[in-house]
Structure 1
């Protein structure tokens, strides 16, 4: 089973003068909602997580949904033996999460994980569902915390682009 989660940082708070209703894509993806994220395989009791405090969590959720879709571009879908690669790079560092899909499975690893540690492996359909659920749950949390965010057209577009599965 897949578990995705986040925590917001107290060291990197959002600027108090932020108007969430009109925040642009750049601000939403890179400047606001900093913290840490994790992706865990609860059955194997293993996870990939950040501990930096500055990861833009909305950008992580958004990028993860983009990556899952990118990995699904082969017309053969889960029957495809070809390897499809994608990476999620973290803006303020050289660290990356690496994704590889073959058949219906996605292997996930990261630059900061020792090479001898095996990747996390998830069913592609389950990863898509969990990534979208995570995005919608995160948006719900953030809109509860930040007045006006629910009225931001960028958030509306994001929710429409990646509906819950």
Structure 2
């Protein structure tokens, strides 16, 4: 089972004068909602997580949804033996989270993992559903915390671009 989660940082709070209703894409993706993120395999009790406190969590959720779609560009889908690669780079560091799809399975690993650590492996279908659920749940949490964010057109567009996927 896949669990994707986050925690917001107290060390890097959003500027108090932020107008979330009119925040632009750059602010939403790079300047606001900093914290840490993780992807965990709850059956194997392993995870890939950050511990820096400055990762823009909305950007992570957005980028993860983009990556899942990028890994699905082969028209043969889960029947494809060709390896498809994608990476999520963290803006303020050289670290990357790496994704590799073959057939219907996606391996997830990170530059900072120890060499003996195995990558996390999930079905592409599960990763897509959980990434989109994570995005929508994160947005709901952020909207509850930040007045006006739910009225931001960028958020509306993001939610419509990546709708929830039925189980």
Q: TM-score, normalised by structure 2?
A: 0.98
Structure 2 equivalent of residue 144 of structure 1: 144
| Structural mapping, 1:121-160, within 5 Å | 121-160=121-160
Residue 156 of structure 1: how far off its partner (Å): 0.1
Superposed CA RMSD in Å reads 0.3
| Structural mapping, 1:101-140, within 5 Å | 101-140=101-140
CA distance in 2, matches of 1:70, 1:120: 18
Residues matched between the structures, number: 165
- List per-residue Cα deviations over 1:48-76 (Å, max 9, x = no partner): 01000000000000000000000000000
Moved segments of 4+, more than 2 Å:
none
Give the SS at the match of 1:5: strand
CA distance in 1, matches of 2:31, 2:43: 34
| Structural mapping, 1:80-119, within 5 Å | 80-119=80-119
Residue 132 of structure 1: how far off its partner (Å): 0.1
Structure 1: any 5+ residue segments left out of the alignment? Answer: none
Structure 1 equivalent of residue 7 of structure 2: 7
Give the SS at the match of 1:13: coil
Q: TM-score, normalised by structure 1?
A: 1.00
Structure 2: any 5+ residue segments left out of the alignment? Answer: none
